[in-house]
Amino acid sequence: MRRIVSIFALVVLLAGCGVNNSELDRAMVLRSKLLAASSCSFQAVVTADFSDKTYTFTVACQADAQGNVTFAVEEPQTIAGITGSISAEGGKLTFDDKALAFELLADGQVTPVSAGWLLVRALRGGYVKACGADGDRIRLSIDDSYEENALHLEIWLGEGDLPVYAEILYKDRRFLSMEVKDFRIV
Q: What angle do CA 55, 140, 120 make, to 5 degrees?
A: 60
Average pLDDT of the residues in 66-73: 96
Per mean pLDDT, which range of 9-13, 29-33, 89-93 is the poorest?
9-13
22, pLDDT greater than 90: yes
CATH code: domain of residue 14: 2.50.20
Measure Cα distances from 19 to 34, 141, 149, 185 in Å. 25, 18, 30, 29
Output DSSP code: residue 35.
H
* pLDDT score recorded for residue 174: 97
Winning range, highest mean pLDDT, from 4-13, 24-33, 139-148: 24-33
Q: How many domains does the chain have?
A: 1
* pLDDT score recorded for residue 104: 84
73, pLDDT greater than 90: yes
Give 149's pLDDT tier (boundaries 50, 70, 90): confident
Give 14's pLDDT tier (boundaries 50, 70, 90): very low
Domain that holds residue 139: 2-185
Average pLDDT of the residues in 137-154: 93
123, pLDDT greater than 60: yes
Contacts of 168 (CB under 8 A, 6+ apart): 110, 115, 118, 151, 152, 153, 174, 175, 176, 177
